[in-house]
Structure 1
Amino acid sequence: MTYDELIERLDPAVYQSLKKAIELGKWPDGRAISPEQRAICMEAVLHYEGLHNIPEQERVGYIDRKKAGGDACDTDDGTSPIRILN
């Protein structure tokens, strides 16, 4: 079985579990997820989302840039706020 076949056959519950582990930084049993495990899980989740045509709004890392409202620092005149670095 190839990696693509494995991801294609991945159970949706396992996909959700991997997403949750990435989000929380720990496995469902409470053990911490290592940086290497997080990277592997992220790769699998992104590949799964691509193969299964998950809607863009539901994908890992999606940022809604069209959302109305914004925050107080958003400007419409092309300027940006000044950042003060110490």
Structure 2
Amino acid sequence: MTFEKMIEAMQPEVYQSLRRAVELGKWPNGERLTQEQRETSLRAVIAYEHTHNVAEDQRVGFIDRTRQDGTQHGTDPLQPQVLKILTDA
């Protein structure tokens, strides 16, 4: 079975278990994930979220960039100029 077929066939419960394992760094039985297991599991979680159209705000690594006034960080027209100045320094 290919990685892509495995992701397509993955049940939501398995996805949730992998996601939780990545978040905690250990399997449900308490055993710690190796670095390789963590990387592979994270890759599977990200692929599942993309393949199964998980809402962006529910995906691993989502950062809410909404300000209190309702605008999004990064919509400031000066921001690209500020970033350029910072990266050129």
TM-score (norm. length: structure 1): 0.77
Paired residues in the alignment total 73
Q: What is the match of residue 24 of structure 2?
A: 24
Give a deviation string over 1:26-78, Cα, whole Å, max 9, x none. 00000001111000000000000000000000000000011428xxxxxxxx7
CA distance in structure 2 between the partners assigned to 1:67 and 1:33 by the alignment: 36
CA–CA distance in structure 2, aligned partners of residues 67 and 38 of structure 1: 32
Structure 1: distance between partners of 2:68 and 2:29: 39
State the percentage of identical aligned residues: 48
Matched residue of 1:23: which SS? helix
1:1-86 pair list within 5 angstroms: 1-68=1-68
- Indicate the RMSD between aligned Cα atoms, in angstroms: 1.9
- Unmatched runs of 5 consecutive residues or more in structure 2: 70-78, 83-89
Structure 1 CA distance for aligned equivalents of residues 58 and 24 of structure 2: 17
Structure 2 equivalent of residue 72 of structure 1:
none
* Separation in structure 2 between the aligned mates of residue 46 and residue 67 of structure 1, nearest angstrom: 26
Amino acid at match of 1:44: A
**Partner SS for 2:43:** helix
Tell me, in whole angstroms, the C-alpha distance in 2 between the residues paired with 1:68 and 1:16: 31
Higher helix content, 1 or 2: 2
Any runs of at least 4 consecutive aligned residues in structure 1 with deviations exceeding 4 A, and if so which?
A: none
Per the alignment, residue 87 of structure 2 pairs with none
